[in-house]
Copies of this chain bind each other. A is one copy, B any other.
Amino acid sequence: MKSQYPLSEQGYIQQLSIDCVIFGYQDKKLKVLVPKLNFKGEFFALPSGFVYQDEDIDDAARRILRDRTGIQDVYLEQFNVTGKANRSSKVFLDRLIEQNPELIAANVQKLNETVSGIGDYDWFTRRFISIGYYALVDINQVTAQKTDLDESIQWYDLDNLPSMIMDHNQIIGDALETFKLTLDQKANAFHLLEETFTMKDVQELYETIFEKQYARNNFQKKILEMNALERMEKKFTGAANKAPYLYRLPKRE
């Protein structure tokens, strides 16, 4: 909204957006990284953006994540498309303009006078089809960076999220549902852990995600049968033989 060019002239595909849900894990809590928009009023919104005409949708998701959060090269999965006919950012945008009336003078009216006759307001308030992506990150590796669109960006507990614009809370719920549904087959939850971890760390993570307890032996068997982890050699220091095994995800090529 703050670019000098109207959105309609920036080479994006119309009526298509990407929303990113970034999951982290700390202190036995699942968390989501949520920016607060840099406008008066309390506007929390998922890191979102549009797709350039010459850009793969997966690349657009990676670009949006990187630009809005400083996060590079993360585990990313497409999970859902939201496309109800009545989906609109009009309510959000009208409330934003109401609380930031200077935008009208500075931006919206001017844009409505562009040659195309379509300013950001019209472009932005049409129905958008939104492709959802979720990311799984090691929270310790992330130094969240905000852009000038953001007043702040921080981790919120999944069970204590702020009230977000449009259907963004619902989108987070959908992301969680898909993550849980395919977690075993994709063996991807480990991306939420530090580089090396114990089987106890994995069990605590699963117990957090699924909100239930697992029996230790059965759980370990189930995880090892996935063949998704690499067990590291124990270092032979004095107490090493009492230390639990450490695991990690195999290095990518």
A residues near B (Cβ < 8 Å) are 13-16, 51, 53-59, 78, 80-81, 83-85, 127, 129, 131, 181-182, 185-186
Compute how far the CA of A131 lies from the CA of B57 in the bound complex, rounded to whole angstroms. 12
Contact of A14 among B14, B54, B57, B131 (CB under 8 A): B14
CA distance A180 to B56 in the complex (A): 26
Chain B residues lying within 8 Å of A51, measured Cβ to Cβ, are 83, 129
Nearest chain B CB to A155 CB, angstrom units: 28
Task: Write the nearest CB–CB distance from A178 to chain B, whole angstroms.
Answer: 9
9 further interface pairs, Cβ-Cβ under 8 Å (given A13-B127, A57-B81, A129-B131):
A13-B14, A14-B14, A14-B15, A54-B85, A56-B84, A57-B129, A81-B131, A83-B131, A181-B186
In the complex, A16→B54 CA distance in Å? 15
Tell me which residues across on chain B come within 8 A of A57, comparing CB atoms.
81, 83-84, 129
Query: Top 3 closest A-B pairs, CB basis?
Result: A57-B83, A56-B85, A181-B185
Cβ contact of A16, chosen from B16, B80, B182, B186, cutoff 8 A: B16
Chain B residue at smallest Cβ distance from A14: B14
A56: chain B residues at CB < 8 Å are 83-85
Taking the nearest CB of chain B, how far is it from the CB of A84, in angstroms?
Answer: 5
Measured between alpha carbons, how far is A235 from B40 in the docked complex, in Å?
70
